[in-house]
Amino acid sequence: MGKTKKDRISQRKETTLNKLKGLGQTIIDDVHEKKIPSLKIPSRGTSNLVYDKDKRYYVLGDRYGKRSLGNVKQIRKIGQMMYVSNFCKNLVQIEKTATLREMYYVSEGWGMSFANQQESNVLAEDLEVTISSSREDLGLMPEEDGASVYGNIILKEGDVEINGLRSGKSGYTISPTIDEVEFIDCDVKRVIAVETMGMFHRMVQEKAHDKFDTIIVGLKGQPARATRRFLKRVNQELKLPVYICNDGDPWGFHIAMVIISGSAKLAHVNHDLATPDAKFLGVTATDIVKYDLPTDNLKEIDVLRLKELLKDPRYKDKIWQLEIKKMLKIGKKAEQQAFSKYGLEYVVDTYFPEKLDAIEN
């Protein structure tokens, strides 16, 4: 008999706890062996990022940096690392979580406090990559709310079952601890994720979940880690195709690609977050022309960003190259809500059916 979800979560926590203890033991061993204590920290610089063509997302290379107590400038960083490690060890042991903001305030009592929260956030990322465990496994959570999910799916958080169709018009809010949430039942054919909450609510109002037999996910702009993990899990565990509909501009393209191929910044956890088989549903430059959408002119920063995307290995496919070049040629961009030119129902009644038919058939 295979392990239950509870067993897998328990094993994951035990593994994380052992890694944290091992990190502290590294320092102790150096002291016992009369060596200058030091830590090897995998480099997260751009020179150590590698796009894995087979996995279809960014991974970290094999370069490391060394922090040593023999370097006066690094003593504070190592001290902070040990305090954060111990803080996370306690969280894992008592099975509680803390937000990154809470950790920042707790650090005020350590004698190794941070200059600002950005510094403490970076240290938490250093810890993640050093012991190869995710921030969520360490018990650290972001402040932002999760994305909204609406559709025929039943999930279980702890002892509570949640129905995605009976959670109000805003649906189920994805938990930061999404790996601890069980999928009890799901009777749909696909998942459609949309960038804006305006489009999410439009789809709910027009009953897109019924019309397309889909789960609707409102990304709230650049999706949080938990949102990306949810999309990967429903794709892998429930075998549901994932489609992404964003604004037709370089930033919308980027948001979609972060879901599909992961981000450079989080190369150390892309294996848990990227959904390489997800498909971009729109809005494209071709859509802007075909549907004669209301547009805005590309700004200089948009043009520069599009040219950067052309060189990014994640956009090597012909369709991406075509759409980016076409957007540069027409010099226009458009929002998802631009389809309202033809009426509020148009995006659900006409646009999505045509796009899904083109992709799936």
Catalytic residue among 51, 57, 64, 105: 105
CB 42 within 8 A of CB 269: no
**Residues 346 and 340 sit within 8 Å (Cβ to Cβ):** yes
| SS3 sequence of the chain | CCCCHHHHHHHHHHHHHHHHHHHHHHHHHHHHCCCCCEEEEECCCHHHEEEECCCCEEEECCCEEEEECCCHHHHHHHHHHHHHHHHHHHHHHHCCCEEHHHHHHHHHHCCCCCCCHHHHHHHHHHHHHHHCCCCCCCCEECCCCCCEEECCEEEEECCEEEECCCCCCCCEECCCCHHHCEEEEECCCEEEEECCHHHHHHHHHCCHHHHCCEEEEECCCCCCHHHHHHHHHHHHHCCCCEEEECCECHHHHHHHHHHHHCCCCCHHHHHHHCCCCCEEEECCHHHHHHCCCCCEECCHHHHHHHHHHHHCHHHCCHHHHHHHHHHHHHCEEECHHHHHHHCCCHHHHHHHHHHHHHHHC
Please provide the distance, in angstroms rounded to a whole number, between the alpha carbons at the two ends of the chain. 39
Rounded to 5°, the CA angle 163-168-174 comes to 60
Decide if 51 is catalytic: no
**54 phi/psi in degrees, rounded to 5:** -75, -45
Cα distance between residue 279 and residue 259, in whole Å: 10
Length of the chain in residues, anyone?
A: 361
Active site residues: 105
